[in-house]
Amino acid sequence: MPRRPKLSRVGAYFPTTIFRWGERHTYVGEEIGHLWFSRIIGQDSYGNLMATWRGPMDVRLENVRDQTERLQWSKGARISGPDLFHTVAEFPQIGNDLVLMYTFQAMLADELAARVMALGGKATIRGTDVYVDGAKLNVGVCAAGPASCTMHFGVNMGLKGEPPIPSGVRASCLSDLLKGEEAQAVELMEDVGLAWLSRIDDLHRKAYKTV
């Protein structure tokens, strides 16, 4: 398959810039800040944006958005993993509607679960999390600001390395599902993101033509 461009744009009714980041960047939680990616791609980050990359995750306490996790931090709770495919989105088109952003994230989880089942895996969804044979495949969180909503959706590619999966978390990964075919796993996740944006665009098209 030809290499996809670093920057591309999709959607007629929910136009979105896609940024495929080539860096193996560690996600620490600050990346869902408003216009965080403007420091990398400048004005191309203005408007609806979906950024993707592969790398570790080691969320810092000051960036934790889930209050339950914050309260458990002193007891050893962590949000970490050695190898994930990260999707960060910022959608100013929906304003600060946090429930709608979580609904969009649930749609992304639906798309991922459908791909897992097509590969022969047994997938279930709880909220915005996908489980394969009862083991958690992803993490996800959304946030709202005055002018936009943001989202992180991280999918385990592999489970070995640093930082480790938190103790007590039973995790699954795409590498096991695809028997180590890493290029195929990346391609799968890029396709999941494109299908997700296409569905959001189609929902907006239906809304615009409804009388």
Instruction: Give the domain CATH number at 205.
Output: 3.30.930.10
User: Is 1 inside a domain boundary?
Assistant: no
Q: Containing domain of residue 57, as a range? A: 7-209
Residue 104 has pLDDT above 60, yes or no: yes
Q: What span, in angstroms and rounded, lies between the C-alpha atoms of 149 and 90?
A: 6
User: Is 140 inside a domain boundary?
Assistant: yes
Q: Provide mean pLDDT across the span 187-211.
A: 98
* Long-range pairs of 158-164 with CB within 8 A, sequence gap ≥ 24: 158/82, 158/83, 159/81, 159/82, 159/83, 160/82, 160/83, 161/56, 161/82, 161/83, 162/56, 162/82, 163/56, 163/57, 163/58, 163/78, 163/80, 163/81, 163/82, 164/80, 164/81, 164/82
Determine contact, residues 56/27, Cβ cutoff 8 Å.
yes
* Tens digit of each residue's pLDDT (9 = 90 or more) over 125-135: 999 999 999 99
User: Is 45 inside a domain boundary?
Assistant: yes
* Tens digit of each residue's pLDDT (9 = 90 or more) over 157-181: 999 999 999 999 999 999 999 988 8
End-to-end CA distance of the chain: 42
User: Is 154 inside a domain boundary?
Assistant: yes
State what percent of residues in the chain have pLDDT above 70: 98
* Tens digit of each residue's pLDDT (9 = 90 or more) over 44-89: 999 999 999 999 999 999 999 999 999 999 999 999 999 999 999 9
pLDDT at residue 90 in the model: 98
* Three-point CA angle 208, 210, 211, nearest 5°: 120
* Tens digit of each residue's pLDDT (9 = 90 or more) over 17-28: 999 999 999 999
User: Is 59 inside a domain boundary?
Assistant: yes
Q: Provide mean pLDDT across the span 2-29.
A: 92
* CA dist list (Å): 56 to 38, 106, 148, 166, 206: 21, 23, 26, 13, 38
Closest CA to 189 of 201, 202, 173, 205: 173
User: Is 2 inside a domain boundary?
Assistant: no
pLDDT at residue 180 in the model: 80
- Looking at the 3D structure of the chain, how many domains does it have? 1
pLDDT at residue 182 in the model: 85
> What does the mean pLDDT of the chain come to?
96
In this prediction, residue 1 has a pLDDT band, given cuts at 50, 70 and 90, of: very low
Global pTM value: 0.95
